[in-house]
Amino acid sequence: MLPDPHRQSYLAFQERLDQLQTLVGKANPAPAQLLQVFLEAQQFFQVQVLGLDAEVLPLETEQQLRAYQTEIQRELRLLGTDLSFLQAARKPETVQQRQGQIQQRLATLSRYCKAILGEGGEGAGA
């Protein structure tokens, strides 16, 4: 489905998401570290992934890719908001709730990446 440069960029983005997922899964994640890894992943997506030339792809593939990219950007914005709420959380149950929301967002982003890479189903249902 994707040329090698596109594939490699999405794989690298997926690795950043996996790293963030690992950090969020810890009992007491450091909010500053989470935010740093998130910002790196977000910047990588904006520069390295969105910077790829989609016009080299067949029209149908390009359209699908653009749709996924739009959804990924939306999820990244929401993830940033969730991380801000996690930083502000003081009660343990609120922290747990925020961590759960963040994990769900990361799972959705992961499904989008896998769908783009052709690993598994469509990944659009969250």
- pLDDT digits 0-9 by tens, 66-91: 999 999 999 999 999 999 999 998 99
Instruction: Pick the closest to residue 97 from 107, 85, 106 (CA basis).
Output: 85
- For residue 11, which amino acid is it? L
Comparison of pLDDT for 61 and 120, the residue scoring more = 61
The structural domains of the chain, ordered by start, are: 4-117 (1.20.120.330)
- Which pLDDT band holds residue 123 (cuts at 50, 70, 90)? very low
Q: What is the reported pLDDT for 1? A: 63
**Averaged pLDDT score across all residues of the chain:** 90
Q: Is the pTM of this model over 0.95?
A: no
Secondary structure percentages of the chain, helix, strand, coil, to 5: 80, 0, 20
In which band, very low, low, confident or very high, does the pLDDT at 126 lie, cut at 50, 70 and 90? Answer: very low
Distance CA 102, CA 123 (A): 17
Q: Indicate the Cα dihedral angle 66, 71, 73, 76, nearest 10°.
A: -150
